[in-house]
């Protein structure tokens, strides 16, 4: 019985060590979510500035101006998980992306998502690791933009969407599909009763450069949302794991108490039997 009690005590110690690891991982994920949410406001402000600039640039062009878009084949950027312990995060993104554009050219972000995609037999035209800290997000957005423009320049898909997980303040994660290219110029407000802006570039070139900057801003925003959502998913997974660990600890503590009580009872029985034997001998 002493051996069984020692085994249960060892199991309790192991589970408590696992609990410490899970708690630490949950804390790190929560900190990253908070950091990403704080930076999203700056990204929104950046996008708004570029949007106003595009509206002003459109005043220099005919009202019916529509840029050429080349090929209309579809492409989609899928933001999946880079690290593990995020539940079914990547699977949800792949389910959503494959459901509405099954034949689209796929650009996949996230190493764990790449593993899940290969398990499904999905072919990706390009992939890259997901950012693991906020400082790496601008560089990743620039890398994605360069890959997309390279495909467009080669006559590949120019109608591009992004599939990105977004988490709200309540902690719920939803999968959103957002149009990236071509831009819907009707969505940009042209200023009314305002002097035309002073420019040093031809209107078409100015609009082209602003479009590239706006696409970059949208990719930064999508990447930041994906970074926050991945860590939110990890935090939720660690919360669930912690609850399971606490339930397991309660079971082991109860088992330990039972074994200890059985041990004490056995000792009492042995002592009583010994005392009775001594009295019988006398």
The HSE-up count of residue 168 (CA atoms within 13 Å, CB side) is 5
The series of mean pLDDT values per 10 residues for the chain, 282 residues long, is: 78 91 92 92 90 88 66 83 91 86 88 93 92 95 94 76 88 90 84 73 88 94 95 93 92 87 75 68 62
**Domain annotation covers residue 129:** yes
Give the three-class secondary structure for 39: helix
Each residue's pLDDT tens digit, 200-231: 888 889 998 999 999 999 999 999 999 999 99
d(CA 261, CA 263): 5
**Domain annotation covers residue 263:** no
**Domain annotation covers residue 193:** yes
**Domain annotation covers residue 180:** yes
**Domain annotation covers residue 223:** yes
**Domain annotation covers residue 13:** no
d(CA 49, CA 219): 15
Secondary structure string (H, E, C) spanning 119-146: HCCCCCCEEECCCCCHHHHHHHHHHHHH
- The reported pTM is 0.85
Indicate which CATH number applies to the domain containing 74. Answer: 3.40.1380.10
β-bridge mates for residue 178, sequence order: 162
**Domain annotation covers residue 1:** no
Contact 83, 112 (CB under 8 A): yes
> How many structural domains does the chain have?
1
d(CA 196, CA 74): 36
Q: What is the pLDDT of residue 60?
A: 84
The dihedrals phi and psi of 196, each to the nearest 5 degrees, come to -60, 145
- End-to-end, the C-alpha distance of the chain in Å comes to 32
Range of the domain at 181: 24-238
**Domain annotation covers residue 15:** no
């Amino acid at each position: 019985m002493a051996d069984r009690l020692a085994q249960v005590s060892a199991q309790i110690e192991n589970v408590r060590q696992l609990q410490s690891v899970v708690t630490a991982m949950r804390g790190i994920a929560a900190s990253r979510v908070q950091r990403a949410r704080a930076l999203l406001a700056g990204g929104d402000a950046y996008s708004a500035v570029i949007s106003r600039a595009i509206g002003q640039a459109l005043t220099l062009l005919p009202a019916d101006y529509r840029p050429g878009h080349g090929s209309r084949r579809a492409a989609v950027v899928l933001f999946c998980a880079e690290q593990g312990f995020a539940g079914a995060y990547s699977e949800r993104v792949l389910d959503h992306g494959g459901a509405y554009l099954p034949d689209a050219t796929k650009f996949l972000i996230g190493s764990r998502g790449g593993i899940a995609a290969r398990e499904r037999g999905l072919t990706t035209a390009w992939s890259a690791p997901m950012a693991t800290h906020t400082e790496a997000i601008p560089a990743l957005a620039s890398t994605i933009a360069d890959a997309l423009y390279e495909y467009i320049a080669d006559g590949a898909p120019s109608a591009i969407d992004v599939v990105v997980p977004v988490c709200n303040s309540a902690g719920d994660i939803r999968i959103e599909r957002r149009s990236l290219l071509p831009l819907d110029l009707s969505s940009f407000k042209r200023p009314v009763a305002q002097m035309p802006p002073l420019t040093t570039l031809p209107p078409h070139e100015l609009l082209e450069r602003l479009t590239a900057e706006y696409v970059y801003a949208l990719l930064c925003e999508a990447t930041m949302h994906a970074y926050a959502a991945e860590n939110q998913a990890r935090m939720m997974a660690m919360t669930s794991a912690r609850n399971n660990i606490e339930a397991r600890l309660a079971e082991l503590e109860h088992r330990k108490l039972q074994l200890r009580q059985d041990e004490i009872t056995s000792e009492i029985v042995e002592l009583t039997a010994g005392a009775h034997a001594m009295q019988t001998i006398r």
